[in-house]
């Protein structure tokens, strides 16, 4: 049940992400909205969603989000925009669906958590407990829930993100929360390590 990981969440539940062969629906909501709703109890099975950047991330579309990013004035020039887009981590859904549910102990590929920094630190310390390795954080402040905290963990990487403009605007998770994506293959070991590392001193 991963009780130690689950207890780190102060509000809601960790969110289970599973790549599935189940029949899904086309949701008009953004992926980050769906994940945040699942945090508070809703469940979804989707084949597509309403964010064009996320559709690119999940390889449901091949149109680069570069023009969109240029239109927002987010980057200094076209080269900076191209660099940002090329850094996006992508995953081919290949006609499958994505099951998004509040975690209750079921099978998952990725767990997504919204944590206060001090609790997010505990995950890093638990990971380091296992082999003494540091967590390599890779984020550009874009596509935080889909690319940073879903696709990167699907590649087996423990992932952290401070969020992005879109996910914070539409999901409205706390300004004092960061997002963590835990791959299935690391979750059990991290959960056990959380029960062994020293408590944080107040």
4: part of which helix (H) or strand (E)?
Answer: helix 3-7
Residue 200: inside a domain, yes or no? no
**Which parts of the chain sit beneath pLDDT 70?**
201-202
Q: How far is CA 55 from CA 6, 139, 143, in A?
A: 29, 18, 11
Residue 202: inside a domain, yes or no? no
Q: Encode 113-148 in three state secondary structure.
A: EEECHHHHHHHHHHHHHHHCCCCCCCCCCCCHHHHH
* pTM confidence score: 0.95
Residue 147: inside a domain, yes or no? yes
Q: Which pLDDT does position 102 carry in this prediction?
A: 99
CB-facing half-sphere around the CA of 44: CA atoms within 13 A:
25
Residue 162: inside a domain, yes or no? yes
Residue 199: inside a domain, yes or no? no
CA-derived radius of gyration, the chain: 17
Q: Which pLDDT does position 76 carry in this prediction?
A: 94
CA distance 188 to 179: 19
Residue 190: inside a domain, yes or no? yes
Q: Which pLDDT does position 201 carry in this prediction?
A: 58
Domains: count for the chain? 1
88: left (phi over 0), alpha (psi -120 to 50) or beta: beta
Q: Are 156 and 183 spatial neighbours (Cβ–Cβ below 8 Å)?
A: yes
Q: Which pLDDT does position 93 carry in this prediction?
A: 87
Residue 101: inside a domain, yes or no? yes
Residue 130: inside a domain, yes or no? yes
By residue range, what is the domain housing residue 164? 3-194
């Amino acid at each position: 049940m991963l009780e130690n990981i689950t207890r780190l969440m102060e509000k809601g539940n960790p969110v289970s992400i599973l790549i599935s062969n189940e029949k899904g629906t086309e949701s008009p909501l953004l992926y980050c909205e769906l994940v945040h709703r699942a945090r508070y109890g809703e469940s979804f099975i989707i084949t597509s969603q309403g964010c064009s950047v996320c559709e690119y991330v999940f390889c449901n579309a091949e149109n680069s989000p570069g023009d969109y990013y240029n239109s927002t004035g987010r980057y200094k020039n076209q080269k900076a925009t191209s660099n940002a887009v090329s850094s996006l981590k992508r995953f081919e859904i290949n006609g499958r669906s994505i099951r998004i549910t509040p975690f209750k102990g079921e099978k998952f590929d990725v767990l997504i958590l919204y944590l206060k920094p001090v609790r997010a630190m505990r995950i890093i310390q638990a990971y380091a407990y296992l082999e003494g390795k540091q967590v390599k954080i890779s984020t550009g402040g874009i596509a935080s829930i889909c690319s940073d905290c879903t696709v990167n963990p699907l590649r087996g990487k423990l992932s952290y993100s401070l969020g992005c403009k879109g996910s914070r605007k539409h999901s409205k998770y706390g300004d004092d929360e960061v997002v963590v994506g835990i791959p299935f293959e690391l979750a059990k070991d991290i959960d056990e390590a959380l029960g062994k590392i020293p408590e944080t001193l107040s």
